[in-house]
Amino acid sequence: MRAELVRVSLHQVDIKVVTEDEQMHVLQWRRNLLWDEVLLDGKRQAHSGGLSREKVYGLVFGKDAEGRGGTKVMLLLDPSTSYGNWGNPNQQISGVRLETADGPVVAFGTLDPKNLEKPATFSDWMKKTMGMEWGDTNRPN
């Protein structure tokens, strides 16, 4: 299974999914005023409503008519945003990950496994959290 993020915005996520038998699908997440929904090829697969909405959804690609077989996937979303940037038209959710039993198929933002790794040194921590370099390694002392 292969996947590619097509769109990540504040209220919409579109993922192109290509299965082992080379069938292409579109997996979509939509945030509406009172509910969230997950669509596969335009058909609703799951929804959640209220103030505390789901952030993890389970889906199966390629199951037979009796519901057996197929590839199980998990769609994880981090819908939090940066509150200081509401005027930006390119505002988007913080993270998306589509994962199978073998591991992540596609990951973005806060749900990318690389972002969960702890920095090895203080310099790496400064660079990751504040975007700062500790000292200049290219300039001689």
Please name the residue ranges forming H helices in the chain: 122-130
**What does the pLDDT read at residue 70?**
83
**What does the pLDDT read at residue 80?**
84
Domain presence at residue 135: no
pTM value? 0.74
pLDDT in tens, 54-85: 899 999 887 778 878 888 999 999 988 765 55
Range of the domain at 52: 2-82+90-130
**What does the pLDDT read at residue 82?**
61
* β-strands 24-31, 35-40 pairing: antiparallel
Domain presence at residue 137: no
Helix/strand/coil percentages in the chain, nearest 5:
10, 45, 45
Asked if residue 11 lies in contact with residue 113, where contact means CB atoms within 8 angstroms, the answer is: no
Domain presence at residue 141: no
Per residue of the chain (141 residues), give pLDDT as tens: 999 999 998 899 999 999 888 889 999 999 998 999 999 999 999 999 888 888 999 998 877 788 788 889 999 999 887 655 566 677 888 899 999 999 999 999 888 877 666 667 777 767 766 666 655 555 554
**What does the pLDDT read at residue 129?**
67
The Cα–Cα gap between 84 and 90 comes to 13
If one counts the domains in the chain, the total is 1
**What does the pLDDT read at residue 90?**
74
**What does the pLDDT read at residue 28?**
96
